[in-house]
Amino acid sequence: MADSILCPQVGQDLTEAKVVALHVKLGDTVKKGDIVAEVESEKASFEVESFSSGTVIALPYKVGDTATVLKPLVVLGAQGETFAAAGGKKEAAASPAPAAATSEKKAESAAPQAPAQPVKTGALRSSPLARRLAAESGLELASLSGSGPYGAVVMRDVEAALAAGGARVKRGTQLKGHATLTIKSLKDGTGHPVVFVHGFGSDLSSWRPFVAKLTIGNPLIGIDLPGHGGSVGQAVSGFDQIVADVAASLLAKGHKRVHLVGHSLGAAVAAAISERGDIDVRSLTLIAPAGLGPRIDGHFVEGFLEASTEGALSPWMKRLVHAPASLPQAFVRATLSAREDKSLASAQRNVAQSVFEGSTQLFSIVDALRHYDGPCRAIVGRRDAIIPSDQADHLPGNVALNRLDQVGHLPQVEAAELVGRLVTETIRSAG
């Protein structure tokens, strides 16, 4: 039976997206988790991932076409199966592989496959951090070969080019304009510090009730993300900027070897820091992590930002938990009280616009996690209404996964004792 991979909604109010790359062709075998295409809107591009396995039996669109959101972009089926498109049109079925090539195909599938290269669209792909470093160094991005996803120029490419030209550039060097974020102690101790990174709309103080559940003697510290808490005045240009600012702030305080515990957006930031190379991340614990797939409840983000009274804010914040009674009303009041600083909502809206577009997350941490070789655990609530829990299926095999029943987007609140034990075990396993 045919299984369609749909064109994602890359913006909350958008109904179309341009197909900028197809990484498969008719007859190709696709595995669950493979990137099959790339689409873009005016503001963002997005990699389309397969949520099932099969043979490509139809490609309704070609590169350059404008696809309709939530319509089939790639159709998978069994070898030899046909697909009836709208109007009764039959797509060509995939041709069976020659018998002589079958064993060769199986042998190839046993080894990791390099990602297909995207079709050139005339636009140079690069990360925001790479663009900033290149601009500050007077380096032309067009002269570089990218080593990032699908040929994107990333920071390491710019650093390598500068180093080859005689410049001494070290990964993690604090670039001009990087923010110094607020960092506070949550508990004194000895050994490598455990850094807690909060999620969108929160601040470091939200961790204080939870850290009491940990039975470790390490120093515990919290950091406020840009646009939040004590870092409310720090501007954000995108996810890479947030990651760079957090890393630079930790290094500025001398925290070069740490354990990272993050929630939601903070979990994604923690995972991305592990890939930079300038901070030795001893262990990673990711609670309800963002960045594992495209979807997020954009209506929650908008409702949370718009609410200006306790009555308006309370129902949105109750969506963070499976059992509304488990979220203290004092938590809602504290969030509202923080908004007496009129700049807070504006700053958080800027953050939201830089990392989300409607109901789409504009970043991914799957590759970063795949490259991480230390103890790593993800803790996900099966009833998460903000970030669908099935996106945890995209976690690579080196990440331990705990799925908690009857728990929503705040496992550290709804199942504090259990999550505290899991965090403790992960940190201790790093030795």
Domains 128-164 and 184-428 share a fold: no
pLDDT tens string 116-132: 333 333 334 555 456 65
Closest CA relative to residue 146, chosen from 118, 125, 174: 125
Q: Are 85 and 58 in contact (CB under 8 A)?
A: yes
pLDDT tens string 244-271: 999 999 999 999 999 999 999 999 999 9
Q: What is the pLDDT of residue 136?
A: 58
Indicate if the pLDDT at residue 175 is higher than 60. Answer: no
CATH fold group of domain 3-110: OB fold (Dihydrolipoamide Acetyltransferase, E2P) (2.40.50)
- Residue-averaged pLDDT of the chain: 81
Q: Are 191 and 170 in contact (CB under 8 A)?
A: no
pLDDT tens string 289-324: 999 999 999 999 999 999 999 999 999 999 999 999
Q: What is the pLDDT of residue 126?
A: 57
Give the CATH architecture of domain 128-164: Irregular (4.10)
Flag the least confident range among 21-30, 109-118, 186-195, 386-395: 109-118
Q: Confidence class of residue 161 from pLDDT cuts 50, 70 and 90?
A: confident
Distance (Å, rounded) from C-alpha 81 to C-alpha 77? Answer: 6
Closest CA relative to residue 284, chosen from 378, 357, 149, 188: 378
Flag the least confident range among 88-97, 142-151, 179-188, 408-417: 88-97
Indicate if the pLDDT at residue 169 is higher than 70. Answer: no
Q: Are 72 and 5 in contact (CB under 8 A)?
A: yes
pLDDT tens string 124-155: 455 545 665 666 566 766 677 776 545 666 66
- Residue 82 vs residue 168, higher pLDDT: 82
Q: What is the pLDDT of residue 10?
A: 56
- Per-domain residue ranges of the chain: 3-110, 128-164, 184-428
Domain 184-428 is in which class? alpha beta
SS3 content of the chain, % helix, strand, coil (to 5): 35, 20, 45
Q: Confidence class of residue 48 from pLDDT cuts 50, 70 and 90?
A: confident
Q: What is the pLDDT of residue 166?
A: 37
Walk across the sheet containing 194-197 and list its strands.
183-187, 220-223, 194-197, 257-263, 280-287, 376-381, 400-404
Q: From residue 338, how far is each of 17, 197, 294 by CA, in Å?
A: 38, 18, 30
State both tokens at 379: 């803790």
Flag the least confident range among 5-14, 59-68, 201-210, 313-322: 5-14
Closest CA relative to residue 380, chosen from 299, 264, 207, 296: 264
Distance (Å, rounded) from C-alpha 226 to C-alpha 241? Answer: 9
Closest CA relative to residue 300, chosen from 264, 340, 258, 261: 264
DSSP 12-41: TT--EEEEEEE---TT-EE-TT-EEEEEE-
Q: Are 76 and 3 in contact (CB under 8 A)?
A: yes
Q: What is the pLDDT of residue 301?
A: 96
Q: Please tell me the pTM assigned to this model.
A: 0.62
Indicate if the pLDDT at residue 109 is higher than 50. Answer: no
Q: Confidence class of residue 98 from pLDDT cuts 50, 70 and 90?
A: very low
The label of the residue with tokens 């920071």 reads 155
Distance (Å, rounded) from C-alpha 322 to C-alpha 382? Answer: 9
